[in-house]
């Protein structure tokens, strides 16, 4: 979890998400806050 950027970390913790399920579109596959927001809305494509 510490490898997530701070805003994504907060969202994942608050919503009990599994980061492994979230496709990361950031540099080198990093999960951005945008990715988490889209994942929670059910959008998987960026």
Phi, psi of 3 (to 5 degrees): -80, -10
State the Cα–Cα distance between residues 28 and 15, nearest whole angstrom: 24
Q: Judged by CB under 8 A, does residue 7 bind another protein? A: yes
27 binds another protein (CB under 8 A): yes
Q: Which is nearer to another protein, 15 or 34 (CB)?
A: 34
Min. distance of Cβ 22 from another protein in angstroms?
Answer: 13
Task: Tell me which residues touch another protein (CB under 8 A).
Answer: 5-8, 10, 25-27, 30, 32-34, 37-38
């Amino acid at each position: 979890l510490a490898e997530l950027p701070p805003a994504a970390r907060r969202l994942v913790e608050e919503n009990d998400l599994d980061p492994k399920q979230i496709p990361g579109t950031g540099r080198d596959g990093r999960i951005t806050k945008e990715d988490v927001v889209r994942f929670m809305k059910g959008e998987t494509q960026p």
